[in-house]
Amino acid sequence: MTDVPTSSGDNLSPRVDTPGVSKEDAYPKPEHSAQLAGDQSSQATSPNTGSASLVHPVATAGTQHDVPPASTEFAPFDIRDGRRRYEWESRYPTAAQKEIKGEKKYLFGLLYGIPVLMTLIWSRLIWGNMNLTPERYQVLARFSYAWLGGMLGGTVFDLKWLYHSIAKGMWHLDRQLWRTFTPHISGALAFGVILLIKSDIFKLFNQSTFNSSGPIVAISFLVGYFSDSAIAKLTELADTLFGTTHKRNDDSNTRD
């Protein structure tokens, strides 16, 4: 005598007394059970007609497969940022969204304003009325390109960090000063690196490379974007020139 399922939940009950059904078929495999449960969860019974109807994916979200694991990496394989499908609204409160918009406008202003300043310097509309000789003006323009190129690289890096941190839920106000000053620090750093190269302290390039503005802007952009690597290289230079200092590992706070 066979067991007759009394409800949809009895579909997974064993059928050991059914003729021609093996023991392996009587007990569904775990993956088949999970698939069947997922298929059943995607349908809902109408209270009026009693028939099954499809439910929007958001209504059935919340299972292990709908919510990907959160990742803090900037380029993860799963780009859904830990969100379910069709979850599009911002998770940040109104006050945070206002701060984010302000930072976005600030960085966009730098992103588009820096090339404009470079163009004005190149066309001599800035500092053209300072009665400088062409040689002196070229020196002033090149180091201006160095600062602005570093700022541009720092701004691009800052923008990438901003939108990644917002999407990953890592944005907070305590980093606002970092995001504000990063382009300017990158500009100053690029200015210093170009000055070191022009002074032959960094013998990395031929001096004739910097007779035009293009290489200066390109190298300054790289210094500004990879400012951490540039600072590490400057630290090595400082250790070579001035030596290293070691602090005692005690409470006296005195140097060796």
Domains of the chain, residue spans: 14-54, 94-242
Which is nearest to 222 in space by CA: 199, 254, 190?
190
Contact 186, 153 (CB under 8 A): yes
pTM of the entire predicted model? 0.65
Q: Which of 83-87, 90-94, 160-164 is predicted least confidently?
A: 83-87
Q: Nearest 5°: phi and psi at 53?
A: -135, 150
Looking at residue 203, what is its pLDDT? 75
Confidence of residue 206 (pLDDT cuts 50, 70, 90): confident
**pLDDT tens sequence across 243-255:** 877 654 554 444 4
Q: Give the mean model confidence (pLDDT) for residues 130-145.
A: 89
Confidence of residue 21 (pLDDT cuts 50, 70, 90): very low
User: Does pLDDT of 81 surpass 90?
Assistant: no
Q: Give the mean model confidence (pLDDT) for residues 25-54.
A: 43
User: Does pLDDT of 50 surpass 80?
Assistant: no
Looking at residue 197, what is its pLDDT? 86
Looking at residue 24, what is its pLDDT? 45
Q: Give the mean model confidence (pLDDT) for residues 38-62.
A: 42
Counting Cα atoms < 13 Å in the Cβ hemisphere of 119 gives 5
Q: Nearest 5°: phi and psi at 245?
A: -115, 145
Confidence of residue 75 (pLDDT cuts 50, 70, 90): low
Q: Which tokens go with 193?
A: 């690196």
Highest mean pLDDT among 13-27, 181-195, 204-218, 235-249: 181-195
What is the 3-class SS of the chain, one letter each residue?
Answer: CCCCCCCHHHHHCCCCCCCCCCHHHHCCCHHHHHHHHHHHHCEEECCCCCCEEECCCCCCCCCCCCCCCCCCCCCCCCCCCCCCCCCCCCCCCHHHHHHHHHHHHHHHHHHHHHHHHHHHHHCCCCCCCCCCCHHHHHHHHHHHHHHHHHHHHHHHHHHHHHHHHHHCCCCCHHHHHHHHHHHHHHHHHHHHHHHHHHCCCCCCCCHHHHHCHHHHHHHHHHHHHCHHHHHHHHHHHHHHHHCCCCECCCCCCCEC
Looking at residue 84, what is its pLDDT? 86
Looking at residue 58, what is its pLDDT? 41
User: Does pLDDT of 222 surpass 90?
Assistant: yes
Q: What is the residue-averaged pLDDT of the chain?
A: 75
User: Does pLDDT of 26 surpass 90?
Assistant: no
Counting Cα atoms < 13 Å in the Cβ hemisphere of 178 gives 11
Contact 168, 83 (CB under 8 A): no
